[in-house]
Amino acid sequence: MTFGRCGQALRGLLAALLCVAWSGCCALAFAAPQDAVCFTATVTRALTVRSTMNQAGKRVEQVEKGEQVDILALERDWALIRKGDVEGYIVGKYFADFVVLDEAAPLPNRYKPLTRPAFAPRYTAEVTKKMSVRAETDEAAKLVATLYEGERVQVAQIGPVWSRVRRDKDEEGFTRTDGLANLEMPDPYQALEPGMTVYPYAAIARRDIDIMAAAPLAQGVLQRIPAGAVFPVAAPDEAGLLRLPYLRTVGAVRLEDVELLPVMPGQDALAGDLVGVFSTFFPTAGDRDIDLGRRHNIDLGVSLVNAQTVQPGARFSFNGLAAPYNRENGYQVGPIINYVSDKQTGYGGGVCQVSTTLYNVVLQLPLRVVVRRPHSAYGISYAPVNFDAAVGTGNLNFIFENGLPYPIFIQLDVWEGVVCARIYRAPQGNQPVEAQPVQAPQPQEEALG
């Protein structure tokens, strides 16, 4: 049997350790051959060189971050190194740029460089709890950074359990997906927002029809909507049912009950073509003043924002058209979300359903969201989590920029229980919407949910 230089060193190490065990000595009791260096590597942080593979071992030397060291042997958690004429152990997980010097001692897989692609940010996300960023998708992997609630990170990949993120230039790794929320796309041309579905048709109700439950294990009628109401649907299935997003679940309508208008891809659209559609739903029961006020505010918000044209590169500001939210502007008292007090009603309550409906159609197109804030980490009941856009006082506004090479036309409608937002490639002759400035901060913020 033959041994390479490292094999000889390891054989000598084993003999030395046996001698140590027999003698009861704890000191490093062997001298490896001078040519027994198996690897060289760069240390990625300052480390103490110890006499034994134990944090309590005697300190015999120190290595600094960026220093290149000679490695005689690699254990699971420790490495035997030589610095000058001193040999000892350092923690074995802070290495980079390995060079193999002895073919008889192949580099363990855990030290081999990863062949993952360069970090390419596709989204930004809000951190909802304190979390670790790890070098691998393993809670025991090397700690890269610690994330704290409220900060934002760049996201390259999103998985069911782990997501690849970056906070600073050198702090890149994997963190738990369940601690990320409020994802946004810096570049709307790259991909759809995670969780967003583009529906290929707008359905127009031929008569008063029922939206039926279509989610697994669900049954019954979800809501009755009036003739003429418009909402997005998927292609019909074999049974002639068309599925649609309904609140936070899935509904369905019958093909014979609707007319279909195709939604054209933005890059293929001609003037007058529909390029995006989305609808949200609200209850029509309730005759309390607050219920009547909410429905009135939805109607008013739709009328103020409807029929707007946004030129390429121009910005659309929801508050620039619908604010101020006060009695003088025609609003009534409705339910609101107040971030600084227990106040639960205010003028304009309900208009956030209009901004949220518009936000969901904007996400389907390369329209860059400039300002948008969700109601909370739990969102709002009439839209999926992370797909709401609060407006109101303070800095609560919804602003987007038209990234398409042509003007777009916004159509908003409301029927009994339905709010619909549609975006068209603008026909000729529409006047552009002027860019609106962001409102200055105010002492309180109230979302007009």
d(CA 70, CA 9): 13
Query: What does the chain come to in residues?
Result: 449
Sorted by where each starts, the structural domains of the chain and their CATH numbers stand as 5-111 (2.30.30.40), 123-184 (2.30.30.40), 263-447 (no CATH)
- What are the tens digits of pLDDT across the range 323-367? 999 999 999 999 888 766 677 888 999 999 999 999 999 999 989
The answer, as to whether pTM is greater than 0.75, is: no
Provide the mean pLDDT of the chain: 83
- Beta partners for 418? 281, 415
In this predicted structure, what is the pLDDT of residue 216? Answer: 66
What average pLDDT score do residues 226-231 get?
97
In this predicted structure, what is the pLDDT of residue 113? Answer: 64
In this predicted structure, what is the pLDDT of residue 13? Answer: 47
In this predicted structure, what is the pLDDT of residue 36? Answer: 76
Q: Would you call 203 exposed, middle or buried from its count of C-beta atoms within 10 A (0-12, 13-18, 19+)?
A: buried
Collapsed DSSP state (helix, strand, coil) of residue 135:
coil
**Degrees to nearest 5, angle at CA 208 with 379 and 348:** 35
Place of tokens 């360069």: 118
In this predicted structure, what is the pLDDT of residue 410? Answer: 97
Question: SS3 sequence, 238-275?
Answer: CCCEEEEEECCEEEEEEHHHEEEEECCCHHHCCCCCEE
Q: How sure is the predictor about 100, in pLDDT bands with cuts at 50, 70 and 90?
A: confident
- What are the tens digits of pLDDT across the range 235-249? 999 999 999 999 999
Element (H, E) at 319: helix 318-322
Contacts of residue 85, Cβ cutoff 8 Å, sequence gap at least 6: none
- What are the tens digits of pLDDT across the range 147-183? 999 899 999 888 778 899 998 777 899 999 889 887 7
Does the pLDDT at position 192 exceed 90?
Answer: no
Q: How sure is the predictor about 441, in pLDDT bands with cuts at 50, 70 and 90?
A: very low
- What are the tens digits of pLDDT across the range 280-332? 999 998 888 889 999 999 999 999 999 999 999 999 999 999 999 999 999 99
Best CA proximity match to 243, nearest among 226, 263, 258, 228: 258
- What are the tens digits of pLDDT across the range 33-55? 445 788 888 888 899 999 999 99
In this predicted structure, what is the pLDDT of residue 273? Answer: 95
For 68, other C-beta atoms within 10 Å of its C-beta total 11
Q: Would you call 421 exposed, middle or buried from its count of C-beta atoms within 10 A (0-12, 13-18, 19+)?
A: buried
Q: How sure is the predictor about 107, in pLDDT bands with cuts at 50, 70 and 90?
A: confident
